[in-house]
């Protein structure tokens, strides 16, 4: 990575852009705008805290991904979480408790984390953790949900706690969404979006981008339908091929460039929409942002992992907390060993180079 690349400055500017774009997206709702003004102040304090800790030798990312359960009611085709055995049909065991998640959220806030992305499994199955997150007003919690558990109590909590933002998974139109997620899922998603829009609640969509849907989901026609339904935030997540059979679905370099250009075009066409790419432009970011550079992942059992797509852990937050996780020997080796800026296929350099990650986990040189 280039020695003149200032990661903390880059992250701080990125946070400022996200907050500004979110504030712009909420201008028509006074309650949402009032919350975002307060959150902008909290995000500014968090940035100062991260800079202080950087001077002390601790690099803190602004994002944390928390998989709060291993349970899910769907069996989506090609699900990385099920392929990695992180999501199971069995009753969850030894999952982090409500109090343990609360402690993680509080420590993350004290260290300068601003965004905690709640995932699973299906995160809405852990209603206890969702309610606990709602009480942390200085943190923003995008909830990555399949959208099938949205009921009256969900909408009431979202209305009360504006720091909880549902981000619903959709693959494109009805045919392609139901083909991957199950019959009837698309109609349930659309019904949930319409109800959120009717209540003036901020929500987003998460789109797994494959070689099969890349042109549909980046088209102005598709995005117009989402925007008209009130969607203000879209995550474009590159498909990660966790099996050889699915490798053909992963976007290649020309398709990645097309995706980034298309997203920029959508931002210009729909200025009220915040469109984000994951992993985004890694060259501009100085490499992959995992392993604590820009984010890291805590699994449902407390294991600190570089990324949800790279389920390797040498530290558990139950024992060492968030600060200890950030000092993970594996994270340090990945950040300092050049693995994060290597070429790769699909959305995760660490999955593509999992043999090197496994060697580093074992304490071997790569």
| Euclidean distance between CA atoms 81 and 311, whole angstroms | 9
Q: Please say whether the beta carbons of 205 and 233 come within 8 A.
A: yes
Q: Please say whether the beta carbons of 38 and 96 come within 8 A.
A: no
Q: How many residues belong to the chain?
A: 366
pLDDT for res 345:
57
Show Cβ contacts of residue 53 under 8 Å, excluding neighbours closer than 6 positions.
59, 60, 111, 112
> What pLDDT, in 10s, does the model give residues 133-190?
999 999 999 999 999 999 999 999 999 999 999 999 999 999 999 999 999 999 999 9
Class of residue 185 by CB neighbours under 10 A (exposed 0-12, middle 13-18, buried 19+): buried
Around Cβ 136, how many Cβ atoms within 10 Å?
Answer: 18
7-361 carries CATH number 3.20.20.70: yes
Spatial CA neighbour of 139 closest among 124, 147, 129: 129
> What pLDDT, in 10s, does the model give residues 277-324?
887 767 667 788 899 999 999 999 999 999 998 899 999 999 999 999
Show Cβ contacts of residue 227 under 8 Å, excluding neighbours closer than 6 positions.
270, 272, 273
- pLDDT over 90 percentage in the chain: 63
pLDDT for res 364:
82
**Extents of the domains making up the chain:** 7-361
| Euclidean distance between CA atoms 23 and 117, whole angstroms | 18
Residue 208 forms beta bridges with which residues? 237
> What pLDDT, in 10s, does the model give residues 185-221?
999 999 999 999 999 899 999 999 999 999 999 999 9
């Amino acid at each position: 990575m280039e020695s003149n690349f200032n990661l903390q400055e880059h992250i701080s500017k990125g946070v400022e852009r996200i907050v500004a774009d979110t504030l712009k997206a909420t201008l028509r709702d006074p309650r949402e705008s009032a919350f975002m003004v307060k959150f902008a102040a909290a995000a500014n304090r968090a940035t100062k805290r991260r800079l202080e800790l950087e001077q002390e030798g601790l690099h803190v990312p602004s994002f944390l991904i928390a998989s709060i359960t291993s349970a899910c009611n769907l069996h989506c085709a090609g699900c990385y979480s099920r392929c990695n055995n992180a999501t199971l049909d069995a009753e969850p065991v030894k999952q982090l408790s409500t109090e343990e998640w609360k402690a993680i959220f509080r420590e993350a806030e004290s260290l300068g984390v601003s965004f905690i992305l709640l995932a699973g499994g299906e995160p809405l199955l852990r209603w206890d953790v969702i309610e606990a997150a709602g009480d942390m007003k200085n943190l923003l919690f995008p909830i990555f949900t399949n959208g099938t558990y949205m009921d009256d109590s969900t909408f009431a909590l979202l209305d009360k706690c504006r720091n909880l933002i549902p981000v619903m998974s959709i693959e494109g139109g009805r045919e392609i969404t139901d083909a991957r997620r199950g019959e009837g899922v698309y109609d349930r998603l659309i019904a949930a979006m319409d109800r959120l829009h009717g209540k003036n609640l901020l929500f987003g969509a998460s789109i797994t981008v494959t070689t099969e849907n890349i042109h549909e989901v980046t088209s102005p026609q598709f995005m117009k339908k989402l925007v008209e339904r009130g969607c203000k935030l879209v995550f474009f997540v590159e498909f990660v091929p966790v099996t050889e059979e699915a490798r053909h679905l992963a976007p290649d370099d020309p398709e990645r460039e097309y995706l980034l250009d298309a997203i920029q075009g959508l931002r210009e066409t729909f200025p009220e929409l915040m469109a984000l790419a994951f992993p985004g432009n890694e060259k501009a970011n100085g490499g992959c942002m995992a392993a604590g550079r820009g984010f890291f992942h805590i699994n449902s059992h407390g294991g600190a992992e570089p990324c949800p797509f790279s389920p390797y852990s040498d530290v558990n937050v139950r024992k060492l907390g968030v600060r200890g996780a950030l000092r993970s020997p594996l994270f340090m080796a990945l950040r300092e060993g050049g693995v994060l800026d290597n070429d790769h296929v699909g959305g995760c350099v660490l999955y593509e180079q999992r043999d090197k990650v496994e060697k580093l986990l074992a304490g071997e040189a790569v």
